[in-house]
């Protein structure tokens, strides 16, 4: 079996100039190469965790050091992984720089699937994980601007948290799916959530079957409005479709179409892979930067936004 890894940097509107576009491409390629390198010594799980960690550290995407802020101006993050019929996830964490690493510790060292909030932060501290540097200057400036506008009584659209995040050059969430040399599949996702979300809000990313899912048939990772992804069981539907014999493209398209027809466009995206290494990426947003690297070392990128 030839290993393969697929990553994405988030579905969204992504208004970028050519410099930011180059940084997005470089970050995706770096994530693909870093994850793929582990295919020689590690499992599909090691591959997806490493790729997502690189995306978290890039600061470009809405995850890890690039995480957005909630209504209180703080970053809080969710992440999850799935491999060999087990999952590990963390929700509403504020301490770790790399929530995906903490999710892997939950998977490896506890009997649980999901640990949340301050207890998860304490666990990260006890494990000696690196602390998060706090929201980036870009997010702090954007937050101040929007809070000021809200205070001035400026009209903000209904459901503004969703609408704003779709307007503001940002993608949502990072993710990876991989097939290793032993034919095993894994999925991983990490996110800062949605701009101006209610403090304490948890999205789809730490929920197996919503933000991520993997079994022996396939693996899928989702991005977009978490509430819609949870209600659609998006990644579970994709992987179950593959298990029932659907082509990975058909399974992905059908699951995303069902979400779109219920909740509208500009809401979600997905990457998926099956046990033969066939892969697909689908999104109903303007862009969803994604890419893959296969056993021959070939890298391909897609879903990139047009620079303005």
Contacts with ligand GLY, residue ranges (CB under 6 A): 172-173, 191, 193-194, 203-205, 223-226
Rounded to a whole number of angstroms, the minimum distance from the CB of residue 244 to ligand GLY is 26
134-162 core/surface letters (b: 16 or more CB in 10 A; e: else): ebbeebeebbeebeeeeeeeeeeeeeebb
CA terminus-to-terminus distance, the chain: 41
Q: For ligand GLY, give the closer residue by CB, 202 or 273.
A: 202
User: What one-character DSSP code corresponds to residue 283?
Assistant: E
Q: Please name the residues in contact with 110: beta carbons below 8 A apart, sequence gap of 6 or more.
A: 88
Q: For ligand GLY, give the closer residue by CB, 204 or 240.
A: 204
Structure tokens at 308: 């303005």
Choose, from 65, 68, 173, 223, the residue flagged as catalytic.
173
Q: For ligand GLY, give the closer residue by CB, 39 or 173.
A: 173
**Catalytic annotation on 173?**
yes
Rounded to a whole number of angstroms, the minimum distance from the CB of residue 60 to ligand GLY is 16
Task: Name the residue number minimizing CB distance to ligand GLY.
Answer: 203
Return the SS3 of 172: coil
Return the SS3 of 267: coil
Q: Please name the residues in contact with 129: beta carbons below 8 A apart, sequence gap of 6 or more.
A: 95, 96, 97, 98, 101, 102, 105
Rounded to a whole number of angstroms, the minimum distance from the CB of residue 215 to ligand GLY is 21
Q: For ligand GLY, give the closer residue by CB, 43 or 260.
A: 260
Rounded to a whole number of angstroms, the minimum distance from the CB of residue 227 to ligand GLY is 7
Residues facing residue 283 across a β-bridge: 269
d(CA 195, CA 184): 35
The CA-atom distances, in angstroms, between 215 and each of 176, 187, 236 are 14, 9, 10
Q: For ligand GLY, give the closer residue by CB, 226 or 303.
A: 226
Rounded to a whole number of angstroms, the minimum distance from the CB of residue 124 to ligand GLY is 19
User: Hey, which residues are catalytic here?
Assistant: 173
């Amino acid at each position: 079996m030839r290993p393969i890894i697929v990553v994405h940097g988030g579905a969204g509107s992504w208004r970028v100039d050519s410099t930011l576009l180059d940084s997005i491409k470089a970050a995706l390629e770096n994530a693909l190469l870093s994850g793929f390198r582990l295919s020689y010594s590690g499992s599909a799980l090691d591959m997806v965790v490493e790729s997502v960690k690189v995306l978290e550290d890039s600061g470009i995407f809405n995850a890890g050091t690039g995480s957005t802020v909630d209504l209180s101006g703080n970053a809080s993050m969710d992440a999850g992984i799935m491999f060999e019929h087990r999952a590990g996830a963390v929700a509403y964490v504020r301490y770790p720089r790399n929530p995906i690493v903490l999710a892997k510790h939950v998977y490896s060292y506890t009997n649980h699937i999901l640990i949340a909030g301050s207890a998860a932060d304490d666990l990260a501290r006890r494990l000696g994980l690196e602390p998060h540097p706090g929201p980036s200057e870009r997010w702090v400036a954007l937050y101040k601007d929007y809070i000021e506008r809200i205070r001035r009584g400026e009209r903000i659209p209904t459901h503004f948290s969703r609408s704003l995040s779709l307007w503001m050059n940002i993608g949502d969430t990072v993710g990876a799916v991989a097939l290793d040399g032993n034919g095993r599949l894994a999925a991983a996702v990490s996110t800062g959530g949605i701009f101006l979300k209610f403090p304490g809000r948890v999205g789809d990313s730490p929920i197996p079957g919503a933000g991520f899912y993997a079994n022996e048939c396939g693996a899928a990772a989702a991005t977009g409005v978490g509430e819609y992804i949870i209600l659609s069981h998006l990644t579970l539907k994709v992987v179950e479709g593959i298990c029932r014999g659907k082509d990975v493209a058909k399974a992905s398209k059908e699951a995303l179409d069902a979400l779109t027809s219920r909740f509208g466009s500009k809401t979600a995206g997905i990457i998926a892979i099956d046990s033969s290494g066939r892969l697909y990426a689908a999104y109903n947003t303007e862009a969803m930067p994604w890419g893959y690297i296969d056993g021959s070392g070939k890298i391909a990128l897609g879903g990139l936004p047009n620079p303005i």
